A and B are shown apart, each in its own frame.
Chain A
Amino acid sequence: MPQVASSPRGAASRRWFLKGLAASGAAALYAPRVRGQQPAHVVVVGGGFAGASCARTLKRLGPELAVTLIEPSLRFTACPFSNPVIAGLREMDAQQFGYDALRRDGVAVVSQAAVAVDAESRHVTIADGTVFSYQRLVMAPGIDLRFDATPGYDAVAAEAMPHAWKAGAQTLLLRRQLEAMDDGGVVVMSVPASPYRCPPGPYERASLIAHYLKTHKPRSKLIVLDAKDRFSKQGLFEAAWQSLYPGLLEWVSLSFGGQVTEVQPASMMLVTDFARHRADVANVIPPQRAGAIATAAGVADQTGWCPIDPVTFESRLQPGIHVIGDAAIAGAMPKSAFAADSQAKVCAAVIVDLLRDQVPSAQKLVNTCYSLVAPDYGISVAGVYHPRGGLLAEVEGAGGTSPADAGPAFRLQEARYAEAWFDTITTAVFG
């Protein structure tokens, strides 16, 4: 039976309530306190880059706050640099991070899934029925893969044709399939239309799979079926493919029949309007939407993503709830870990201001995304964003991609910066 706050719902808005924490593995048990003495409670749903960074920053900027992070996984598995894991260049344990540092900072980490949000009464319910009340809720649910979007592609099909778009078991499954494939095999990737998590990610993956094939199985071929005609860092990727993987990697754009309309996992077939591609290894990256709890909370719109205010990250649909990271509609800002962390820190400062009855100020945000096209060949795209016309818009004249004419030393330096970025951001958020 669900546990609920013992006070009437109206009075509970200044009160928060935890029960069953010992059972859920959290360290502290908080008793409700007398109104006026207790700290404001901020609940964060989702422990990826956005949620973990926001929870930690909230506690740093507002030590007086009670901050609860609700995340079912005991360890976070990072998507950035999971492509090198697929290509055998990196091991999975380098991708995994725990929440002990957040606990040490005073964040209450609850290892369960959030299952319901009542935006009106400001309550979150977790899997065991415990109800938390909040003054402010941060939702960072990341993405859900749409298993209803491509005929034939569901969770069962993903065991034969992995998506590997949430790092973890799927990442290792795709790696094992590549390792088991005979030289001379055909690998087929399917890439969705925008928006989706990590715009350049599929092309980094294609590059590193091509690198693996060139190194270990040079008679093989990689076909990339794309539901788009244009993609992030396209000129840089295509130039690198031409010089590094000629004849090995074939990119098929939307206009040339790249959109996959159906998959048949039993026969390992990917179907487009123009052709049927039989794969020895298939990597189907399906269309996506905000994590399901966003829809349950009423913060996702018909697109499946979450409209927000570009200054406060507060939901356009539900007051008191802020949405950050991949789930948010952040205008020109891409769905990246760097962007998620930038948004998280701005959102935390906004919430601290709001809870102290101060007016938050508009902030610029930065994104930098590195991609590896080979282990020693990195490229990047950067952008600076500011709130304009109700969205986060690019600051004109800033940002852009690595120069097209850069030499090998520059590409090597960007590859090393990519690795350094990963170490820095994961240390800042989880270390």
Chain B
Amino acid sequence: MGWGGLTFVAVAVALCCPAMAQQAPSGAVSCSGCHASAGSGGPVASLADRPAEEIVTALLQYRSGERTATVMDRIAKGFSDDEIHAIAEWFAAGGEQSARRSQP
């Protein structure tokens, strides 16, 4: 891909992202039922400011049983690889907080 292609991608990303931030991927809004948006000091980890790869790895390992959990193993089994990646990227981009910045 030449520079022209990269520029196109960059523009496309810039154009798409306000809408992307707006649209929570499937299942993502349920996470904040337990995971506080900011560090609460409680026993359940916040998902804010975590890299997408870290969330993806955790969810895939919960799903496979490689990582033990109380409930996240049961919940992760309800999501596909694509859904897990989309949720992780949405949280890494700010999650519900990012929606505050977006306007139509």
Contact = CB atoms under 8 A, between A and B. Distances in A.
Interface of A: 57, 60-61, 63-64, 338, 341-342, 345-346, 349, 352, 356, 361-368, 380, 382-384, 386, 395, 397-400, 402, 410, 413-414, 416-417, 420-421, 423-425, 427-428
Interface stretch (B2-10, B18-26, B51-59): B18-26
A356 B103 CA distance: 11
A350 B22 CA distance: 11
12 contacts: A63-B100, A345-B24, A364-B27, A368-B75, A380-B71, A384-B78, A420-B34, A421-B33, A423-B42, A424-B34, A425-B34, A428-B32
A60 B96 contact: yes
A80 to B, nearest CB: 12
B10 to A, nearest CB: 24
A361 B26 contact: yes
Given A63-B100, A342-B33, 7 more contacts: A384-B75, A384-B77, A384-B79, A395-B77, A413-B43, A417-B44, A424-B44
Contact of B33 (A57, A361, A383, A424): A424
B75 A399 contact: yes
B70 A363 contact: no
B104 A366 contact: no
A389 to B, nearest CB: 17
Interface in B24-82: 24, 26-27, 29-37, 40, 42-44, 70-71, 74-79
For chain B, the bracket of interface size reads 20 to 34
A410 B26 contact: no
Contact of B42 (A64, A368, A420): A420
Contacts of A383: 78
Given A64-B103, A342-B29, A342-B30, A417 B74 contact: no
Given A345-B29, A398-B77, A398-B78, A428 B70 contact: no
Contacts, number: 116
Top 4 nearest A-B pairs (CB, nearest first) are: A384-B78, A398-B78, A366-B30, A345-B29
Contacts of B104: 64, 356
A63 B37 CA distance: 19
A421 B78 contact: no
B68 to A, nearest CB: 9
A418 to B, nearest CB: 10
Of A352, A382, A400, A414, the most chain B CB neighbours within 10 A belong to A382
B20 to A, nearest CB: 12
B96 to A, nearest CB: 7
Contacts of A60: 96, 99-100
A420 B70 CA distance: 14
A368 B70 CA distance: 11
Given A382-B71, A400-B74, A428-B37, A365 B42 contact: no
